[in-house]
Chain A
């Protein structure tokens, strides 16, 4: 119940959807594009919290870059591994953002990760699953 209560409209648009897009595009296009896309989206989201302008951009840029490096590996052939990467991306994003913005307040970071990021990660995975499955099915049908 706590997990469901913590999921709101703001979280969907400011956390889940951006990460979903970054991971999806990074996997599709590679590390360069992943980094660029991560930085851009991060910067656009950072303006809502100007005190940490650049922090979200930096973290998301790294996420985009590292996920993009998986592009050419066989590891990403399975949907399951993509979903796991998605989950890790949400978790990493939240971990670093909260850790740095709270001045390395581990207690606060743990609370947010436990009560918020866990659900955000699962929720992102749920939508990510459809995002990864359907384009593949469509392309199979077309070929």
Chain B
């Protein structure tokens, strides 16, 4: 090691280390708060460009992944659109062949519940749309869970809805599985009663009940609810006693949609 010592001392290389030594000692002697502040400063100066680059790269990667998944979704949807277009054209052709009238198309008008009837037993709610929005009497009202009711009174900027639970409200329905027809009306609480189903009508608990389209007010296919109880088959009764649980929570109505009929041709 003698040669190392002599080479360091001979060429005065030791001077090289002094500034660093002094700087290091100063840094070590600084109070903790200054050390922390200085660390933050050095960090911001030296590392932040890398962190920024890293976050940008991450962002870019996420965007590219999202783009990929959106592209896949787009392709899937395009295929679905094409196939549904084909089916729609086929449907039209078949309907023409069979001489059916053209189907009525619907458009939905979104609305919000702004008021409830003070007497809650009357089952009426007010919406924030009216004549100005194209609302008319007897238009059906739905939400994401199924049929809610129908429009009874229309004003310029509002309208009143008679809920499905209302004693006056009747809807022609059918059992989705067995295609047995009946009439739905309010029963007790949130339950609905399915009337006019003969005792030999094939209705089972758990069957879905949908609107049949008969009567002309409610279009066919709107979800009403699920059969909860089937009774009245014993004795000399004419009709079954069936209770249906609506999917709609009538106590928590917020956003609703009014269905407006639109004749295509």
Question: A residues within 8 Å of B by Cβ?
Answer: 31-32, 35-36, 39, 43-44, 46-48, 50-55, 57-58, 61-62, 65-66, 69-70, 72-73
Q: Which of A43, A48, A58, A62 contacts B25 (CB 8 A)?
A: A58
Contacts of A62 in B (CB 8 A): 17
Closest CB pairs A-B (n = 9): A54-B27, A58-B24, A50-B39, A47-B39, A54-B24, A54-B28, A53-B35, A61-B20, A50-B35
Q: Which of B8, B16, B47 contacts A32 (CB 8 A)?
A: B16
Contacts of B16 in A (CB 8 A): 31-32, 35, 65
Contacts of B39 in A (CB 8 A): 46-48, 50, 53
B26→A54 contact, CB < 8 A:
yes
Residue among A51, A52, A58 with max Cβ neighbours from chain B (10 Å): A58
Contacts of A69 in B (CB 8 A): 4, 7-8, 13
Contacts of A36 in B (CB 8 A): 20
Known interface pairs A50-B36, A52-B28, A57-B27. Does A35 touch B43 (Cβ–Cβ under 8 Å)?
Answer: no
B42→A43 contact, CB < 8 A:
yes
Could you tell me the distance between the alpha carbons of A24 and B194 in the complex, rounded to whole angstroms? 87
- Asked if B30 is at the interface (CB within 8 A of a chain A CB), the reply is yes
Contact mask B23-67 → A, CB, 8 Å, 1/0?
111111010100110111011001100000000000000000000
Could you tell me the distance between the alpha carbons of A46 and B27 in the complex, rounded to whole angstroms? 10
Known interface pairs A53-B30, A69-B4. Does A61 touch B24 (Cβ–Cβ under 8 Å)?
Answer: yes
- Asked if B236 is at the interface (CB within 8 A of a chain A CB), the reply is no
The 25 sampled A-B contact pairs (Cβ below 8 Å) are A31-B8, A31-B16, A35-B20, A39-B20, A43-B27, A46-B39, A47-B42, A47-B46, A50-B35, A50-B39, A51-B35, A53-B38, A54-B23, A54-B25, A55-B24, A55-B28, A57-B20, A58-B20, A58-B28, A61-B24, A62-B17, A65-B13, A65-B17, A70-B4, A72-B7
Contacts of B38 in A (CB 8 A): 47, 50, 53
B32→A73 contact, CB < 8 A:
no
Q: Which of A31, A44, A52 contacts B42 (CB 8 A)?
A: A44
A53→B27 contact, CB < 8 A:
yes
Contacts of B32 in A (CB 8 A): 50-51
Closest residue to B27 on the A side, CB-wise? A54
**Shortest Cβ distance from residue B30 to the other chain A in the assembled complex, whole angstroms:** 7
B17→A57 contact, CB < 8 A:
no
Contacts of B17 in A (CB 8 A): 35, 61-62, 65
Contacts of B100 in A (CB 8 A): none
Contacts of B35 in A (CB 8 A): 50-51, 53
Could you tell me the distance between the alpha carbons of A48 and B42 in the complex, rounded to whole angstroms? 10
Residue among A52, A53, A62 with max Cβ neighbours from chain B (10 Å): A53
Contacts of B30 in A (CB 8 A): 53-54
**Shortest Cβ distance from residue A123 to the other chain B in the assembled complex, whole angstroms:** 24
Contacts of B26 in A (CB 8 A): 54
Closest residue to A56 on the B side, CB-wise? B24
- Asked if B21 is at the interface (CB within 8 A of a chain A CB), the reply is yes
Q: Which of A39, A47, A51, A72 contacts B24 (CB 8 A)?
A: A39
**Shortest Cβ distance from residue A75 to the other chain B in the assembled complex, whole angstroms:** 9
Could you tell me the distance between the alpha carbons of A57 and B57 in the complex, rounded to whole angstroms? 31
**Shortest Cβ distance from residue A116 to the other chain B in the assembled complex, whole angstroms:** 23
